[in-house]
Structure 1
Amino acid sequence: MMKHHIGTIKNRLVVGMKTKASVLTISETTKQLAQLFMPRRHEVTSRIGQHVFSIQNYGQDYNPSEVHSEFEKWVGVEVENFNIVPESMDSIVIPSGTYAVFHFKGSVSEFPKSRAYIFQEWLPNSEYQLDQKVHFEILSENYSTDFQNIEEDIWIPVKKK
């Protein structure tokens, strides 16, 4: 069982890079996107904090039962405003709302098991259902230095059933 809490946030502004991904390609896509973005993250002005966002924007066309169904995958940093967005980067708003926040600590190989717990055990047995907003993780800036001992917060958009 993972530690979690229910939290509410205001809009959060993120500048970063995005690409298309599917369940089959998510690990490699995220790695490639991070390799492109992280060396350039300091180009982002008006940055808030030292954390990094990993975002999944599923959209209305995404079909979770189809492994080839694509969604937008983002890696970025939080900003105060969108006044300056560096070349080849984009902006996204993480919308205000209610989120179930799960704290994950472990190895990258254990992460799928934790996601399965959230969606197959916790969510169906909770008083919540998924909300149609982006899903995201908040990571430390040095996240990729040790894949055996990662720590992140997983934010799942929810609303009361």
Structure 2
Amino acid sequence: MTRIALLPLLAVAAAAAVPTASAIAGSSTHAPTVPATKSSIKVEGGYAYYDSFRPLNKREIIVVVKTHGQLPRRFDGLIRAGATLSGHGGGSIGSVGGKASKCYTFSIALKDGRFYPTGDAPAAKGSPGRYTVKMSAKDKDGNTVSSSKPITLRDRRPGDRSGKPLGC
């Protein structure tokens, strides 16, 4: 057999030997996700600050929150919870300081210095001050458990990205 004729046969044999994604997920040894409880999701503290990242340097609000316990995670390690800052939804929640940390962060985009409008309300100005952060997740029965606390929005200080003011 020539080399050119042998390559397609090798490719088919290799594809047949690779297990499918469903077979891998079925034999997974991941621990089951722990559902949220009222005490684990309780917001103990937090702060918000203005930041921007290259290359666009668009201004956004970064919120850092410390909870009483760890938030629930999916089978692949992503966090199964949501968060808002005074009703303005943020992006995905990430942990500050690794999976063992109880500190979490999410960002809220600004458009011309204002929050994106929600519903029929006009876009509110994202100015420094006190805002309410709300963390929510599902409990074992599928009901939403949430906790909220007022936090301060301010300019960025050294150590804010790593959660230093909260001891993360």
Question: Normalising TM by the smaller chain, what interval?
Answer: under 0.3
Pick 1 or 2: higher relative contact order, CA cutoff 8 A, min separation 6: 1
How high is the TM-score relative to the length of structure 2? 0.23
How high is the TM-score relative to the length of structure 1? 0.24
Larger fraction in strand: 1
Tell which structure's C-alpha radius of gyration is larger.
2
